[in-house]
Amino acid sequence: MKQIRIRVLAGVFVVAGVLSWAAARLWNSLGTLPSVPVAAPVVLAIIATVLLATALSLRARLKAQRERQPGAKGVDPMMAARAVLFGHASALVAALVAGLYGGVGVFLLMDASEAPARRDQAIYAGLSVLAGIAVVATAVFLERVCRLPDDDDDDSPSAAAAA
């Protein structure tokens, strides 16, 4: 599995933001824009918390294993791979969702003079963007915790063939 690329996540965020801003403008001109759910930032914050707890647990267990502490619980490689996969998928979805709510939030801020309810919706959208960024940050941290050490052997046949 390849590492999470911040440029890809930023691209997903920007493209989703621009498209959702345009869709919000179109939807508002045709009727009433749906509201931003209050649960959106809460769900994203819960996902970020689960990712952070997983990363901290794995980091502590890997450190104890590296230092050969007596009674240290080992880390199952499949569990670590699943955790990284969960973080990778969560980061991609969070970048998309944060971009969607970011675009809607920008539209709502530009149009907030019409109704105070729009201002509240813009706040919920902004909190969703912040929670989405937290999910991305914790997913990157989890990936760094579970990364295997690089192979420093330059004299191996595979390293010579790659050069």
Read off the pLDDT of residues 1-53 as tens digits, 9 standing for 90 and up.
Answer: 678 889 999 999 999 999 999 999 888 888 888 888 999 999 999 999 999 99
Among 15-19, 145-149, 159-163, whose mean pLDDT is lowest?
Answer: 159-163
Average pLDDT over residues 135-156: 75
Mean model confidence pLDDT for the chain: 85
Which of 27, 50, 51, 47 shows the shortest CA–CA distance to 39? 47
- Say if CB 101 and CB 39 are below 8 A apart: no
Where exactly are the structural domains of the chain?
7-21+37-148
pLDDT band at 163; cut points 50, 70, 90: very low
pLDDT band at 112; cut points 50, 70, 90: low
- Residue written as token pair 């939030």: 105
Joined together, the tokens standing for residue 98 give 């944060």
pTM for this one?
0.82
Q: Tens digits of per-residue pLDDT, 68-107? A: 777 777 778 888 888 889 999 999 999 999 999 999 999 9
Average pLDDT over residues 107-122: 78
Report the C-alpha gap between 149 and 129 in whole angstroms. 33
